[in-house]
Amino acid sequence: ALAPRRGWVRVGLEQRLAAPAVVSAATARPFAAAAKPTKKGAQWTKQEKAKDKPSRRRRPLMTKPVDDVYLTWLYRRPFYDLEQAVGMLKKFQQLDFTYPKQFVYINVFLDMALKKKKLDPFSGAVVLPHRFTDEVKKVLVFTENEQEAEIARENGADIVGGLELMKWILEDEIQADFYVAVPAIISKLTPLRNKLKRKFPSTRRNSLGTDIPKMVQLFRECHEYAVQDERVIKTRIARLDMPTEHIIANLKTVIHDICTFKPPIYDPIVQRLVIRSSTSEGLQVNLDGILPQVEKVEEKEEEEESGDHEDEAEKPVQEPVST
């Protein structure tokens, strides 16, 4: 009834039911844009244009702001003397009414590069001159000597024993913060090396030796730190309510211990030092007077070699004796 003329509906229906013709691959993607032929040297011209473009020069950072309100990213980060930085942290606490006994932290940025390789991330333990926590570590001592075992117990060792402890450690029935051993038993503890990893007794960590009282006391009361992110040490060193002299002494003790992990013939391992409290911003500290004064060995060797050459020059030359 709606068709304008006879046969219009049937013709349209026949066209819809007819089998579709074979479509080429190009027409099968009606929404794909036709690929333009690439011109030779187009990429090269873009690179040349990028080179010809003048690079935006960054404005040099200014040293000291002249106003109380300023953009920090326009100015260089200031350096403070250690005593001045600690005094500022104490002042921040008073102005902000924060907890007076909060921890003081340091972030130490390291130079791990050697001549042909890098230092592996390490961990250390040191006894601070002024303790700021009552925390006592759990120490295990390996020894098969009854007299040495008794000395270890008298000095505060939590677990003392011989090879019978290996099975319990491998099965996680016994755990300790630090593991100490005497040289006589260390060769028998090889199966524990993969289990304990860095905690395995070694002379480098001062956990292998004959002075049992000294080792036990060190690890019961020590302060432990470790390298994070391949080149940064983040650790707490004191409480903010401690005297400034005590905070500085603890900081220098940690820094001097860190410096022992890199030979003195290279550049200092400590590159940058930032100190902060739990609620304050970080203050960049001037390293003058903090790093240990170490004379480079290379200079001494050159002086000795030059002295040897001078001695050889002063020696009279012996003439060969004719036969």
143 and 195 inside one domain: yes
pLDDT at 147: 95
- Is 101 contained in some domain? yes
Residue 207's pLDDT band, with cuts at 50, 70 and 90, is: very high
99 and 178 inside one domain: no
Per-residue pLDDT tens over the stretch 135-178:
899 999 999 999 999 999 999 999 999 999 999 999 999 999 99
- Single residue among 167, 198, 222 that ends a domain in this structure: 222
Residues 2 and 282: their CA atoms lie apart, in Å, by: 84
pLDDT at 3: 53
Question: Whole-prediction pTM value?
Answer: 0.69
- Single residue among 196, 222, 248 that ends a domain in this structure: 222
- Is 187 contained in some domain? yes
Q: Which domain holds residue 174?
A: 133-222
Contact status, residue 86 vs residue 252, Cβ threshold 8 Å = no
pLDDT mean across residues, the chain: 82
Residues 119 and 299: their CA atoms lie apart, in Å, by: 23
96 and 238 inside one domain: yes
- Single residue among 202, 222, 242 that ends a domain in this structure: 222
Residues 119 and 261: their CA atoms lie apart, in Å, by: 9
Per-residue pLDDT tens over the stretch 292-302:
986 654 444 44
**Taking 90 as the threshold, does the pLDDT of residue 219 lie above it?**
yes
85 and 157 inside one domain: no
235 and 255 inside one domain: yes
203 and 269 inside one domain: no
How many structural domains compose the chain? Answer: 2
> Which residues lie below 8 Å from residue 107, measured CB to CB, with a gap of 6+?
232, 233, 234, 273, 274, 275, 276, 282
- Is 289 contained in some domain? yes
- CATH at residue 257: 3.30.190.20
Per-residue pLDDT tens over the stretch 232-289:
999 999 999 999 999 999 999 999 999 999 998 898 999 999 999 999 999 999 999 9
Mean local confidence (pLDDT), 33-54 = 58
Contact status, residue 186 vs residue 204, Cβ threshold 8 Å = no
pLDDT at 313: 39
**Cα 23 from chain centre:** 63
Cβ neighbours around 17 below 10 Å, total: 7
199 and 152 inside one domain: yes
Per-residue pLDDT tens over the stretch 127-140:
999 999 988 999 99
Specify whether the backbone of 197 is left (phi greater than 0), alpha (psi in -120 to 50) or beta: left
